[in-house]
Amino acid sequence: MQIKTMAEYFAEGETPEVLFWVGCAGSIDQRSQKITRAFAEILTRTGTKFAVLGKEEACTGDPARRAGNEFLFQMMAYNNIQVLNNYGVKKIVTACPHCFNTLKNEYPELGGHYEVMHHTTFLQGLINEGRIKMKEGGSFKGKKITYHDSCYLGRANGIYEAPRAVLEALDAELVEMKRCGSRGMCCGAGGAQMFKEEEKGTTRVNFERGREAVDTGAEIIASNCPFCMTMLTDGVKETGKEDSVKVLDLAELIARDMQE
Amino acid sequence: MQIVSQLLFFAALAAAVFFFSRRAAGIRRNILQGRDIDLSDQPGRRWNNLLLLAFGQKKMFRNPLVAVLHFFVYAGFVIINLEILEIIIDGLAGTHRIFAPVLGPVYPVLIGCFEILAVLVAVSCAIFLVRRNILKLKRFISHDLDGWPRSDANYILITEIVLMLLFLTMNTADGVLQSRGAAHYTETGSFWVTGMFQPLFEGFSDSTLAGIERGAWWLHILGIFAFLNYLPWSKHLHIILAFPNAYFARLEPNGKMENMPAIQQEVLYAMQPELAPTDASAAEVPKFGAKDVHDLTWKNLLDAFSCTECGRCSAACPATQTGKALSPRLIMMKTRDRAEAAGRGETGKTLLRDYISEEELRACTSCGACVQECPVSINPLDIIFQMRRHLVMEESSAPQEWTLMFSNIENNMAPWKSSPDERDAWIHA
């Protein structure tokens, strides 16, 4: 895959259509890298002129801020905004709802004003414009898929319809969990929980959510967040159903069944 | 004799108003212990929230059946106040049903509506008692409510049923007396609900009926005065504070955390020292985050006093549901209890640790379900975030894994241990 960085575009005196903000998980975590590649592949195949920041990208500061470390958050925000503004970035797409929320809602008052989209909304746009066409009788046709609303896309930003619209393109059977939409249950990773051991309780949040997802009878759990991905994968494993139930990101689902 | 009754009524009314006002002022003082925050922006959107969330009880309708029952009680409370106005005028002036001659044929229709509402209120409250004490819904039998809070809820429901029954008893006796043409009992025509029950009272003499009518009248109004004064000591205060709380509700996207301009500034000066004021040493060092109620905003404290302990937040909280120490409802109850105690002059204690433990604060996933579910626009998450800020920035208190995460972000630009040079490795993999 040929992926250009912002610096390379800049050197050529060109401007990409959109900046793909990969995020830390998408850059570093092995499982999330697959999501990143799937989304980059979709962008490439749809002829979307996009760039990444590459080594110039840094954590948005979300987990630091939510853990209470405002200093660290402000430092990360300052540096990221400098980089983004220096390149004159206007439009950003990201496959991480935490990055999405921070870039969209928290950077503007610190001087970073961009049009920010989550990849599910972006995919919906590509489908609506006919830039993504799905194969006839794709591999998900008629299969049961359940969708897990991430907190930072759903409740935090009110985006419930776009990801479901994307799933419709798969011609699969969407089955909802009991707690879905604005009542969706957290995977357990937000608020910097991803980076520490859970407090003691009767069970783990991801075990509870994994069980709920498996109970729908779906073969595929569609997620939109690298942290939910990790949590739900472990949650499914706990139920012993990891061979028959797969957790996949929306980008991976679309990439698999896209027409050439 | 009449004048004695008027004087007694005046004394009761004056006492009720006096004690209520005194307590209301106390609550206002307790709320204003919080730091100042300007919430006067966007009045249009705020009025809209007031109408939809408070008057329209929009969020209650996430569960339509309960919402309808609750709406009966709410409408009953608001509309029956018109009847109370008449009772107060009658009580002070020594008249009886003073609105009857003024309103003419409309009067029995109005009272008929009140009676239907009274029945709906009583039935709804009875159903609520069943939900709490017989069906034992999870959020009502939770340990959050052990002790006084659980009794408080039952006292409120029982009092409301008793008040409605007194109102209906009073009208039944009144109706029979009217039909007999008893002196002072203004002819209004039969009332819709109590008209049906009049046969039950036909066997009584005029004087017994007058005794029942007067007794019920007095107990009803004295009960209302007493309830008015119980209100501000109870969770039931939400019937008043839900309105300002909806008006002052947060208007920003749920996912946005409150910015800290002081730190933003400090980081800016660190990065661009040329911008820093030269007399920076004179500036006082601000406190970061919240250790006690005084560090929270008055809106956080208004939230705490608006909480009616329904537990919708905790029922939706992933931490509460998986047996963690955290319950957003308790965060609000503890904040209110500490604000009360601090208002009484409790010293040597703070909201953090004496009321809310670190373990509770650490269990939050910031999923926002508590904020989403609250019918009266309370935001427990904002309090949790401010207290986390205190722990990390004032006390350097964080789980070891978080400290490591902070240093990874600072040094590796990512929360994990990884080289920044590896960040684009996925492209070439």
What CATH class does A135-257 carry?
A: alpha beta
Q: Which domain holds residue B106?
A: 2-31+63-247
In a domain, B16, yes or no: yes
Q: Which of A4, A19, A28 to mutate to test the interface with B (most CBs of B within 10 A)?
A: A28
pLDDT of residue B415: 97
Q: Over chain A, what is the mean pLDDT?
A: 97
Helix or strand or coil: residue B348? coil
Contact A192, A67 (CB under 8 A): yes
Contact A62, B385 (CB under 8 A): no
Domain ranges of chain A: 6-124, 135-257
pLDDT band at A179 (very low <50, low <70, confident <90, very high): very high
How open is the CA angle A150-A153-A157, to the nearest 5 degrees?
140
Closest CA to B386 of A78, A67, A193, A63: A67
Domains A6-124 and A135-257 share a fold: yes
pLDDT of residue A235: 98
The nearest CA of chain B is from the CA of A255 a distance in Å of: 17
Residues B219, B286, single domain; the answer is no
pLDDT band at A212 (very low <50, low <70, confident <90, very high): very high
pTM of the model: 0.96
Residues B180, B288, single domain; the answer is no
Identify the segments of chain B with pLDDT beneath 50: none
Residue numbers of B between 34 and 73 with CB closer than 8 Å to A: 62
pLDDT of residue A152: 98
Cβ–Cβ of B271/A78 closer than 8 Å?
yes
Contact B165, B122 (CB under 8 A): yes
Least confident of A111-115, A256-260, B408-412: A256-260
pLDDT of residue B283: 63
pLDDT of residue B80: 80
Residues B241, B348, single domain; the answer is no
Cβ–Cβ of A196/B405 closer than 8 Å?
yes
Helix or strand or coil: residue B84? helix
Residues B131, B240, single domain; the answer is yes
Instruction: Tell me the chain A residues in contact with residue B252 when contact means C-beta distances shorter than 8 Å.
Output: 105
Residues B217, B327, single domain; the answer is no
Cβ–Cβ of A204/B422 closer than 8 Å?
no
| Number of structural domains found in chain B | 2
Token pair, residue B352, equals 């953090």
Residues B177, B314, single domain; the answer is no
pLDDT of residue B282: 56
What CATH class does A6-124 carry?
A: alpha beta
pLDDT-above-70 percentage for chain A: 100
pLDDT of residue B280: 58
Is A11 an interface residue toward B (CB < 8 Å)?
A: no
In a domain, B161, yes or no: yes
DSSP A167-222: HHTTT-EE---SS-GGGPPP-S-TTTGGGSPPPS-SS-HHHHHHHHHHTTT-SEEE
Residue A136 pLDDT > 90, yes or no? no
Write the ipTM. Answer: 0.96
